[in-house]
Structure 1
């Protein structure tokens, strides 16, 4: 019965995200380069909470990780703190892997400003790990519909192809801990107007000779 209640709670919070998506917090960034098929963002430093997951399926890994993160933001932490939902939910894949080959993922939740400096400590059984990323550049490709095991590899390959034809060719960051990440912004119950993104860490070499230093800040 408790598992049913927990599952229903996850459903309710995801449904609640739909009308308020524009109002919830997201990591801040500046667009420093834009092309029709991708953009380069400079993200500010920020604190996240991450759930490591071992699973062959990207979709199952995301559900597993988000379920644990949802328990954490609902109060399963040593402070019993309630934490507001943020976007996106980020699923990162380890280097050299993909949904059909990987067993290692990290599902991550961006911490609201209120908890950036001192995140509540998660209960040990949730196996969550806080981490802070430094300011860095990310190449982003948007795609609609649902992020599935069947399409995320193709979307990542499209981003790689676009980068290879641009000034950002050979700019993929060697310091990145992940091959690429999938950012999801919508409830699974939203069928229209869905927004997903493929993220790949890049370094600043692509900015050399680029006239558009700052396009927009979010």
Structure 2
């Protein structure tokens, strides 16, 4: 899959105060008018987002716990020096989200 996969983390929302994760997949425009109906046992639901702005930082390599925290910090520093420094909203329930793409190529013996 090369389409973006969005993973949002909600600290403390899981069992025993662990983090909970929400995985969201992008539905291409051609399917948005009549989206496919998922199997009930998958416990999936569709979610439409209102238009909004998102700050993004791009980095290469694999998304791992150790580097996404560093990259999120770099994004925060970058935003602190911009006109958008104080324009964040606390309306969301997520601490942060990461969007990943799977390469069409597979690494062997990793």
Q: Smaller-chain TM-score range?
A: 0.7 to 0.9
Larger RCO, structure (CA 8 Å, separation 6 or more): 2
SS of the residue 2:92 aligns to: coil
Higher Rg: 1
Does 1:109 pair with 2:25?
A: yes
SS of the residue 1:91 aligns to: strand
Does 1:134 pair with 2:50?
A: yes
Can you give the 5+ residue segments of structure 2 that lack an aligned partner in the other structure? none
Instruction: Quote the residue 2:77 is aligned against.
Output: 161
1:96 CA drift (Å): 7.5
More strand per residue: 1
1:138 CA drift (Å): 0.3
SS of the residue 1:136 aligns to: coil
Instruction: Quote the residue 1:81 is aligned against.
Output: none
Alignment of 1:42-191 (within 5 A): 87-94=3-10, 102-187=18-103, 189=106
Show CA shifts across 1:97-153 (max 9, x none): 8xxx84211111111112212222211111112100011000001111100122111
- Shift >6 Å, 4+ stretches: none
SS of the residue 1:107 aligns to: strand
Show CA shifts across 1:189-214 (max 9, x none): 269xxxxxxxxxxxxxxxxxxxxxxx
Show CA shifts across 1:11-67 (max 9, x none): xxx4xx4xxxxxxxxxxxxxxxxxxxxxxxxxxxxxxxxxxxxxxxxxxxxxxxxxx
SS of the residue 1:141 aligns to: coil
The number of residue pairs the alignment matches comes to 104
Q: TM-score, normalised by structure 2?
A: 0.80
1: distance between equivalents of 2:18 and 2:72?
15
Q: TM-score, normalised by structure 1?
A: 0.43
1:162–1:113 distance in 2 versus 1, CA, 3 Å: same
2: distance between equivalents of 1:181 and 1:96?
15
Can you give the 5+ residue segments of structure 1 that lack an aligned partner in the other structure? 1-13, 18-86, 192-218
